[in-house]
Amino acid sequence: MHHFDYRNGLLHAEGVELGAIARAVGTPVYVYSSATLERHYRVFKEAVGEKSHVFYAVKANGNLGVLMTLAKLGAGADTVSEGEIRKALAAGIPAGRIVFSGVGKSAEELAFAVEAGIYQVNVESEGELEVLSNIAEQRGRRQAIVLRVNPEIGAGGHAKITTGGAANKFGVSWSEAERLYIRAANMPGVAIKGLAVHIGSQIFDFSALETAFRRMRGMIEKLAAQGLPASRLDLGGGVGVPYEIGYPFSYGTDSLQAYGRMVREVTAGLDVELGFEPGRLIAGNAGLLLTRVLYLNERADRTFLVVDAAMNDLVRPAMYEAHHEIWPVTRKPDAPIRAYDVVGPICESSDTFAVERELPELKPGDLIAIMTAGAYGASMSSTYNQRLLVPEVLVKDQDFAVTRPRQTFEELLGTDRAPGWLA
Ligand SMILES: *Cc1c(COP(=O)(O)O)cnc(C)c1O
């Protein structure tokens, strides 16, 4: 379910016509819907139980307006860098609702997290455990942690976003988990609270999640039998969103309810606080990338539709072979249908958003929307080809705000420094 819809033949984000945003801000531009973000957060929270902690995965979309919208609903944040912790704090998410994940947290980042007083560090290796305990002890603190365990069960929409397999770098290995848990329980700078797991992203197969969760439960019971009761179980994120359903597409709450039921079954009788780290599910179809057609490049066997957005703005198709629906901003029911290869201006053949996509006939100047671009879109954007970072707009009812203005050429060029011997 989302709040992008046609009104009088023109695509709107909530009450705002996308053409108006293009006129005010230019293209390409990301457009997010507050109502969609709010709905996804509420539906997820309801599905997993109001008492559970929901830590929104900031890396999916770290836009300040997005984070502030979720902060207002009481969301926590799952972060993977000092920059994300700072961003979450700046958005009004209190330190007591922030968790810090990731395989390569630096000593500086861990010190920052400890000093900020964050809720929990999800520790992923023995080395990190030692560094963190020392850092916290030096500061007279005991940092709450959970141990992220690799359950040796991977899942996800693409090999590059599968994280729970034995060959993936994430978490401590299954066979080492018990030893490390006992070790952590005897360290002065950490307070071990339980376990965490996150097996991948864009997952629809809840049976893989269920198997991983059952393994975690088994480990918790084993630890409890040794006098090490866990009070927290962080079940990660990873629930998928539909990228490939035609208009009008809805995201069924029933699938989330099924997820919630599965979690309740697996954790029944366990006396732990549950945590979740959804990213894509919250932000994915709450955003689109609005772009303008620059040229039609007609070949004998195909037509390239060259648009002003590129892989530096949205890298998912190039990096993960991801599919995104494309909607014309002006609906033309009588227009003939044509097949287009929708491509950006970057000098790389992977700069392709869609191949042989059937769309109502388009011409230069027309606007199109690349749908379901709210997660891993702007947050993965770059200035490749010295293109300006793409702006972001947040819509609320009839209103919209530019929550990240388009970068300027002064900003782009101003970050470089000439080496002294050439100046
Ligand atoms: C990326 C990530 C998430 C979010 O994954 P989604 O598929 O966006 O829900 C959650 N937890 C951890 C540890 C992650 O790395």
Element (H, E) at 190: strand 190-196
Residue 131 and residue 54: Cα distance in Å, rounded? 27
> Are the beta carbons of 272 and 220 closer than 8 angstroms?
yes
- Verify whether ligand 1 is closer than 6 Å to residue 189 (CB atom): no
Shortest-distance atom of ligand 1 to CA 277: 10
CA distance 263 to 53: 14
Cα 239 to middle of ligand 1, angstroms: 9
Length of the chain: 423
Ligand 1 mean position, distance from CA 171 (Å): 13
Query: Tens of pLDDT along the chain (423 residues)?
Result: 789 999 999 999 999 999 999 999 999 999 999 999 999 999 999 999 999 999 999 999 999 999 999 999 999 999 999 999 999 999 999 999 999 999 999 999 999 999 999 999 999 999 999 999 999 999 999 999 999 999 988 777 788 777 777 778 888 999 999 999 999 999 999 999 999 999 988 888 899 999 999 999 999 999 999 999 999 999 999 998 888 864 333 445 678 899 999 999 999 999 999 999 999 999 999 999 999 999 999 999 999 999 999 999 999 999 999 999 999 999 999 999 999 999 999 999 999 999 999 999 999 999 999 999 999 999 999 999 999 999 999 999 999 999 999 999 999 999 999 999 998
Q: Read off the DSSP letter of residue 11.
A: E
Residue pair 57/277 in contact (Cβ under 8 Å)? The answer is yes
Q: Which residue has the tokens 């084993």?
A: 222
- Do residues 213 and 153 make contact, with C-beta atoms less than 8 angstroms apart? no
Query: What number of H helices and E strands is found in the chain?
Result: 12, 21
56, 80, 54: which is closest to 68 by C-alpha?
56
Supply the pLDDT for residue 245: 62
Nearest partner of 146 among 169, 172, 164, 127, judged by Cα: 172
Q: Which helix (H) or strand (E) holds 29?
A: strand 29-33
- Find out whether the beta carbon of 198 lies less than 6 Å from any atom of ligand 1: yes
Pocket of ligand 1 contains residue 237 by CB under 6 Å: yes
Q: Indicate the pTM of the whole model.
A: 0.96
How high is the pLDDT of residue 334? 94
C-alpha 201 – ligand 1 centre gap (Å): 6
10 Å CB burial of residue 248 (0-12, 13-18, 19+) is exposed
Task: Verify whether ligand 1 is closer than 6 Å to residue 120 (CB atom).
Answer: no
How far apart are the C-alpha atoms of 244 and 251, rounded to whole Å? 11
- Examine the residue annotation and report whether 347 is marked as an active-site residue of this protein: yes
- Burial class of residue 294, CB neighbours in 10 A (0-12, 13-18, 19+): middle
- Cite the beta strand spans of 299-422 per DSSP E: 303-307, 326-328, 337-343, 352-360, 367-370, 392-396, 399-404
278 lines ligand 1 (CB under 6 A): yes
Active-site option among 268, 337, 347, 418: 347
Mutation probe of ligand 1 site: the residue of 239, 277, 316 with most atoms within 8 A of C-beta: 277
Question: Among all chains, which residue has been given the structure tokens 């810090």?
Answer: 100
